[in-house]
Structure 1
Amino acid sequence: MKNIHLLFCIMALLIASCAPTNEERAEKLVSDCIKDYLTYPDSYESISTKIDSTRVNVSKIEEILEQTKEVASLGSKIRSLEFDVESAQSTMEIYAPNNYYYSDFERGQYNRAKAEYEECKSELQRLNEKLLEKTANLRTVTNSLYTDEPNGWIVTHRYRSNGDDGKQLPPQEMIFFCDMAIEHCQGWTSKQYEFITNIIKSINESETDNELLDNISGLQYFL
């Protein structure tokens, strides 16, 4: 009976030793993912893979990027309208009625500027109200980026491959997020991931909506 028990223990150890580690499984998963996008998949060569648990809710990242794009675009429209309002107001002051000679041309310029001022002012108010809603949503999504417990793995993978011209590129690095079972992953280049983390940092460090707009201004062209 002891011999049978010992045999079971040995078999269990052998099975455990043959099972791939999380790092090996992660490398296999991300390697397959990378090869799908390479012009010359046979040129792929793994250099290193590092894996660690993460509390990042990866589904929120795309949501943050999309909402950041919307807020930045909205902020750009608002600033353009603010300029139009100031310009129309300035024109109104130039052609404002006075007690001296007032020509039809001056009256026409004033009326056109006044109409533009009122139209832009109304649109500006509407967009500012929309901005308040959008920035609140963006902050809410950003605050929900991290879960209380680990929900997956973050994988840093370096590799070599050939570019579209068939020539070998310098070593590349990508950051992947995998589920706990290491069956699905989503990744970005290290530069893209640095860009994403800087966006999230800017959102978290912005105390006011104006500061938030300053920090993400122009990002809609890069997202």
Structure 2
Amino acid sequence: MIVTKNDEAAARLFDDLRFYYDLSGLSETSLALFPRWETLPYEATAPHVGLIARRMNALHQIRTLPAAKVVTSIDALMQRLMPVEIFLRTVLTFKVGAAIEREALTAGLLRLGYRRVSVVEIPGEFSIRGGIVDIFSTAYDEPLRVEFLGETVESLRLFDPATQKSTAKMDRAMVLPAREYLRTGAPDAFAPSPADAEGRAPELYDAMQTLFDYFTAQPLLVFDQPAALKQSCVAL
């Protein structure tokens, strides 16, 4: 895990690593960027869903890829996260040929912070039209279309939201959380989360965890520009 002085430095370093991997013919699947929220705690604005998508993907890579290489900032590293077991329990998975009750799927998406709309346009939205469920999962850059035959998943594919044309077929797919405040067992679990919900997460979870807790083994730490990083720590 590489730690930088701020998010801007982390983004630049991440782009440099992607360029190097592409130039070397290496797979970028093990690379992950973990940014901080752009909002302050208790600020009446929800973190941008694009940032949440980045963060959720990074957490998923850390848990599923032993060789994951994560770039983050000291600010992001110090932010407390939902418990690991909550994150793992809320990831939804789809498989062609598997059976899923439509009501259970809708409930699961609402619990993960997704909003039901007529047409999906941005991450964190889903729509249901007959036997077709469109989900703009935070796990992908494009929306996911799940076609059902009864309660059975008949097909999974990504599509372009502008043209509605398929871009990739899949045998399996997943949906990661769209918010970081998940009231999985609460009576109001299906209600929309307030804008400042992420800042109130310590009120929801008995114990918050850190990025280190998501690693299955102790990560190797690399500090980018240690002197500048130390100054950033002092300023926090």
More strand by proportion, 1 or 2? 2
Q: With structure 1 as the length reference, what TM-score do the two structures score?
A: 0.25
Q: With structure 2 as the length reference, what TM-score do the two structures score?
A: 0.24
Which of structures 1 and 2 has the larger relative contact order (alpha carbons within 8 angstroms, sep 6+)? 1
Computing the radius of gyration from Cα coordinates, the structure with the larger value is 1
